[in-house]
Structure 1
Amino acid sequence: MHCMSGHSNFVSCVCVIPSNENYPRGLIATGGNDHNICIFTLDNTTPLYVLKGHKNTVCSLSSGKFGTLLSGSWDTTAKVWLNDKCMMTLQGHTAAVWAVKILPEQGLMLTGSADKTIKLWKAGRCERTFTGHEDCVRGLAILSDSEFLSCANDASIRRWQILGECLQIYYGHTNYIYSISVFPHDKDFVTTGEDRTLRIWKQGECAQIIRLPAQSVWSCCVLNNGDIVVGASDGIIRVFTESLERTASAEEIQAFENELSQATIDPKTSDLGDINVDDLPGREHLKEPGTREGQTRLIKDDRNVEAYQWSVSEERWIKIGEVVGSSGATQQTSGRVLYEGKEYDYVFTIDVNENGPSYKLPYNINDDPWLTAYNFLQKNDLNPMFLDQVAKFIIDNTKGQMLGNTGTELSDPFTGSGRYVPGSSSESNAVLAPDPFTGAGRYVPGSASNVVAPLSGIDPFTGRSAYQSNNAKAENIYFPKKEAVTFDQANPSQILGKLKELNGDAPEEQKLTEDDFIILEKILFITCNTTVETPTAQQLLTLWKAINWPEDIVFPALDILRLCIKHPSVNENFCSEKDSIQFSGHLLKFLSPNGKQANQLLALRTLCNCFVSQAGQRLMMEQRDTLMSHAIEVKLCGNKNIHIALATLTLNYAVCLHKVNNIEGKAQCLSVISTVMEVVQDLEAIFRLLVALGTLISDDTNAVQLAKSLGVDSQIKKYASVSEPAKVSECCRFVLNLL
């Protein structure tokens, strides 16, 4: 129909994006060596748009609901795209991401990598890492909502449960397996690889082997009608079928067999094993029938060796090629030798002297022998006098193949002819209630006396009597939220009293003097009351001294910081470019999952209060990735006050992101909301997450689509029927209306 073009170098993966309202015939996505993804309509030969963002070859693509596209790249990342925008980047692999799949359940994605692992992602966060493959993972296929398959360069196929267990390992291929595809409505599947075969697997067994007249069978795909399509290194696409109506003519089948019989087979890359020509039988050996599908038999015809395969359905031996010897015997698996997780044409063993250790020397035929030799000697701390000797060894053992002399037959479309080098028990709320430092009834961070202060007469965040729900005529007063939500209320005298009590436990050099307490009392008065005074540099230094107390006793100082950071001059001082990294880094220390809950709570509240001034907002947005990734680590604490603070931090980010319309930031925030929703039970925290969600997706169709693709709508539906507090169900229904 069309010859589409748009990449500046080779195309390594193709994917169909299903039809939607805007494109009823669907779209075609292609990933290329130019680091780009081109999106085509079926009616045009030039791209509709180009997705830029990856820093190396895009080698895998998968499409999902609502137009979501997942891409994998040599740059070790996967990216989630929606229409023409990158929504989030999945980081965690240490080598190329060669396989990606979007699972049927919304929000779940799989990535397979040259680092030998598979990762499961939910809403953009790594939920689980699957280990077991002994080499690069090359292909993934989805069996059901709860199971998937993987294939790898270790010549194995594995069936996994989504919860992490490897259910079964399948062996049959004798070399790298590049591609895997599942039959529709079935658990049977097909695979292709570097051993020249397409293999059909039924009920866990290899039921059929189809040899092809090409060394590398790069890709396979099962069509909806059960036909199998394969693409190979000879540049030909072939379709195999069980249907008699679609079977090729006798002439075409004979032409395929003739082509197959004329192929040459390298015994090192096949499953033929070691061959001694003198021991082989003659052509009479083919008169005996085979015993199983795909059985291979070698015969000698004069000095030639021919390979035949038994076809059960046709009850005959089919010639699959002539076996040839190979020069360059040091080269293994068609030039793709793995060493320390990277691919090379050769991996030599070098013995420097008889009694010394052996060293591995990896080499690609497009490398400079002398530079390789020099780097080898440097890495292993060997005498430079060996330079000429090692370089000559390389040249002699590569049979004269020099720079730029790479072949095209075995040029991996995933890697290019130069061959890519991958990797170049919940605690209860009671923990805070009977404070071990204070006892019940005294100063307790996060207690009822320290709740969020009312922000306005009808602020739904307070739940006070001033707020009246009107179910009969509901009006969306919840989102988009325009201003940050802060934690204001406190009893300064109780906080200072606790600080004085704990001062005796502070290290001698960190103890506060009476003058220090007067200074802290003064800064608390200035920041907690409407005054024209500005905290002095000495007051700020004293506060910094207090918040550097040991973790066991620092919490009252953090509570003072939480209150003071709302003052514009304090905010400017701590959040300015000069001190911002030191300040944010200090707070991050308290967000360790194993840290004290009082410190976690007050650090989160301080971060929330940073949003009141421009300096704080700027710092929070600049450090968004780091702060959010650390903050979300405390989600499993089981403490409702921490959950409310975490939800509020997410809400404040949503407020900022709504103002600047940062789609990648919104995607990250949506991911956090989806993740936290799964563990939070407190309805106030749920309410704040709903407001954050509504704020993010208001007036942004891309954000709406992304939220749907992450499955957020199914997560929140249950809150639409909450009776008390009414604000939860009302806000939830407004969000669902947008979705």
Structure 2
Amino acid sequence: MNLPWPESPSELIWLHHRKSHLQEIEISFFSTLFFAFFLLRQVTHTFESRQFGVWYLSIYCSFSVMDIDFNEYKLRCELRGHDDDVRGICVCSDDNIATSSRDRTIRVWSLDPSDKRKYTSSKILLGHTSFVGPLAWIPPTDDYPEGRLVSGSMDTFVFVWNLINGENIQTLKGHQMQVTGVTLDKEDIVSSSVDQTLKRWRNGQLVESWEAHQSPVQAVIKLPSGELVSGSSDATLKLWKGKTSLRTLSGHTDTVRGLAVMPDLGFLSASHDGSIRLWALSGEVLLEMVGHTSIVYSVDAHSSGLIASGSEDRHAKIWKDGVCVQSLEHPGCVWDVKFLESGDIVTACSDGVVRVWTVRHGVIADQMEIDAYDSQISQYKLSRKKVGGLKLDELPGLDSLTSPGTSDGQTKVVREGDNGVAYAWNMKEQRWDKIGEVVDGPDGVADRPILDGFQYDFVFDVDIGDGEPIRKLPYNRSDNPYDAADKWLLKENLPFGYRQQIVEFILQNSGQKDVNFNPSFRDPFTGANAYVPGQASQTAATPAKPLYKHIPKRGVLVFDVAQYDGILKKMTEFNTTLRSDSVNNDKSLTEVEVSRVGAIITILKDTSHYHSTNFADMDIDLLLKVLQAWPPAMMFPATDIVRMLVLHPHGASLLIKHVENNNDLLLDLIKKVTEDSALPANLLTTVRVLVNLFKNSSFHYWLQTHHSQILDAFSNCYSSPNKNLQLAYSTLLLNYAVLLIEKKDEEGQAQVLSAALQVAEEEAADVDSKFRSLVAIGSLMLEGSVKKIAVDFDVASIAKSAKASKEAKIAEVGADIDLVIRQ
């Protein structure tokens, strides 16, 4: 029969109440999403417009919120056994669950016959040499009555396991980088990888491989209709029939990290942009679910229509008809989430614990277990939220700075990530000026001087002569004066020969001239303990663990000081030279472009307003023009601007667009400056650019991916007569050590170790360069995966030589390495 299709939103509301319509159009299965999807397609066909369908979806979901019949999930049990982050979950049945972990193991958990609420670890699968991520279950056959398990790992391998005995029965080799996803396609296994490919395996052999995206492929699933879906760091999804791409789906604004089938409708995607999307096979977005406050790593759906998602924000969220109906808080990142057939939910957390959640009253954990978990969450939140005595969750966000202040100097504390940041109202400029982070401290600190947003006991004016401007030297009484001097000299790009003179200046002006200092202080670059004047030295009779002075390194170092006036002056001089050169005249900048360079520098100078300043795309294009077109000898001022640009949040976000594509700006820059190594200024500024990239996590994947290419390109810097270049190179190695330890990249760690050993063995190496290389070596040995390799490289002799050094910090880090060797 012909149906009276709606012509307005009011008729859609009427249609919502006429559920009898569903019988007329003979839909046997009813859910809000299914009906909305049907209506969306019919209206599109009839009116050539999606508008009415979208209206209906919004209206219907709004009604659904009022009528939701939903029982809250509660903790059922905790599965403890993994030693590190739990990264993946595979549901074999309601009675058997498999989990993967950063601890390199897979555990199979079986229902406890003595307590149906709980699971016990029945098997541990060992074999992967790096952290294990995606899992897939192959149902039982005559040969494998308990089925098989497929796993993918950072070690680039796909393993197939026999679940009867836990043995690895197939090792699938072919990927060049981390395996991010595994799924089953009839008798085949399909895997995705950071190497940008999808691979099809049959009977243990590679039968197909194709480049699926131009960026890492983060996930792959098979749909009931037979197609494959892949999600990528390029923010797109692709639908595949075999190796043939049927369509590319766009909508997310960041990496697509997780995928799942949505029964009877289509499929779901989870993204780093914080959203979950429901897609039809046609490529239409049926729903966008927004509620997480950080990266969404995983998503899953149940036949009831419920959706679950896991996020970096420590929550697993449950969604019904596009609305978040419950958030399950965790004491860490939620890496994965899966539904059991019963509707129970399994979550994988970075605290190493697997948790099962249920709405079934008969299997809910007892009250003591629930109270213990609630207490754990409370303690975690308390440890995270106490900043300067303020509760972070009660602070307003950055958007509150859009409202003007009422008086000059009025202060406001807002939340930025996990920090409370103070701003002061500037009545003259009608803007909020950033003061700095709010930190816990003793009473009476409000009157302490502030420099660069931080409070200190003293901020000294230092006149270094020669017409140079007065420099500001910050110092706290609890600081080691040698640390303070080292940091300041590095920041101001002054020779370390001034060190003792600066220390004496600090002691004289801080009233600490007669204080005896413990020579065993820690270097400022290690992030280790600070010396406290007058503190008694105590030695434990039986220390619980070795005490290291300089390792492991925490955090990264940057070169964040620039002589902007000199940079602009030099760039202007070079541009004038190009204008007068008949051959290169077309490469010079126009007056407008030169003025824009000045505007870029003005923004970079104003560090207190990095939160509210932005660059234009044309600014990046302008710098690209200089780096690509100007002669090598004239590049370094522009490269120095890029060095500072990557420390600006918006500047970095624009620059990365020119890195994560086929025309990689940074790789081109590296190639250009290393082709002529006779230009140390180019090498120095480029290495410093790379060092500063570590400050922004958006570049971490790029840095890790290209570590071999980068380290090979600058491998000769360790023996350069230019001490600044030596220091920049050793800082690059130290930052790489920190990153690759965090990423558990053993191959990369080995290359950094080899390069750092070269610096440490170089007799002519500058003291600070050698120190940083030794810290990198010690950190890699202590927390990385390359201690055995270091011992094989005879690191003991390097430690012995360092211990004999007259430089205190070199001797101390040498002792640290020696202690690691003996453990």
TM-score (norm 1): 0.41
Give the number of the structure whose alpha-carbon radius of gyration is greater: 1
Greater relative contact order (CA < 8 Å, ≥ 6 in sequence): 1
TM-score (norm 2): 0.37
